[in-house]
């Protein structure tokens, strides 16, 4: 009986397949570009949606993002993960979309704000991922953007500051305020849910 391939072998095979796909995309083969889109578009739409207020806007960002992916695919380093490289392009495209779109640009305010104390009891874990994502989307655009960059994408406040043209301190205070608002909303949401449960008994 042949042993099952190890996870290491599976990763190697995936990298080989991705590298082959990249080479064909560099040659601008339509079939390869379509395959790349179908493979990564669903996940990347989710990334784009985190930074926008509607699916329609997220789809616009996705299309712009893939145009850049096809344009710069030759810059991809085979030592890295293709999905992570595409994700970075989508995040950058989303930020640019916010800056050039009038509706978002007017809300994209990064004012210095005092830090708010936050309880160690984190009620965010009481919500599923979809519910939390919807609450994050209700934040003002500036808060939403910084919260996603820091808490979801894993950028440091120094990196966020460089990306958005703000100070590291502003990024920290905006993130703290966003987290404060989310916890406030979640606690209110949890309280309402409990009241509904008791009312139903």
Determine the distance from the C-alpha atom of residue 141 to the mean position of all C-alpha atoms in its chain, rounded to a whole number.
13
Domains of the chain: 7-105 (1.10.1740.10), 123-200 (1.10.10.10)
The angle at the Cα of 133, spanning 127 to 134, to the nearest 5 degrees, equals 95
pLDDT in tens, 34-92: 999 999 999 999 999 999 999 999 999 999 999 999 999 999 987 789 999 999 999 99
19 pLDDT tier (thresholds 50, 70, 90)? confident
User: Rounded CA gap, 98 and 103, in Å?
Assistant: 8
- How confident is the model at residue 123, as a pLDDT? 44
125 pLDDT tier (thresholds 50, 70, 90)? very low
98 vs 117, which has greater pLDDT?
98
**pTM as predicted:** 0.77
Helices (H), the chain: 7-26, 30-51, 55-72, 82-100, 102-107, 129-137, 141-147, 157-164, 168-200
pLDDT in tens, 131-148: 788 889 899 999 999 999
Helix (H, G, I), strand (E, B) or coil at 15: helix
């Amino acid at each position: 009986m042949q042993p099952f391939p190890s996870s290491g072998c599976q990763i190697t095979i995936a990298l080989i397949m991705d590298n082959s796909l990249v080479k064909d995309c560099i040659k601008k083969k339509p079939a390869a570009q379509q395959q790349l889109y179908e493979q990564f578009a669903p996940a990347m739409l989710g990334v784009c949606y985190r930074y926008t207020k509607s699916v329609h806007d997220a789809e616009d960002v996705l299309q712009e993002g893939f145009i850049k992916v096809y344009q710069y695919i030759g810059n991809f380093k085979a030592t890295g993960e293709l999905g992570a490289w595409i994700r970075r392009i989508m995040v950058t495209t989303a930020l640019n979309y916010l800056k050039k779109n009038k509706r978002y640009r007017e809300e994209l305010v990064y004012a210095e704000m005092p830090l708010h104390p936050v309880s160690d009891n984190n009620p965010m874990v009481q919500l599923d991922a979809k519910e939390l994502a919807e609450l994050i989307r209700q934040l003002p655009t500036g808060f939403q953007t910084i919260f996603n960059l820091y808490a979801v994408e894993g950028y440091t406040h120094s990196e966020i500051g460089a990306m958005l043209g703000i100070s590291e301190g502003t990024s920290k205070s905006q993130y703290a305020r966003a987290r404060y608002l989310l916890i406030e909303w979640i606690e209110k949401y949890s309280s309402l849910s409990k009241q509904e449960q008791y009312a139903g008994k």
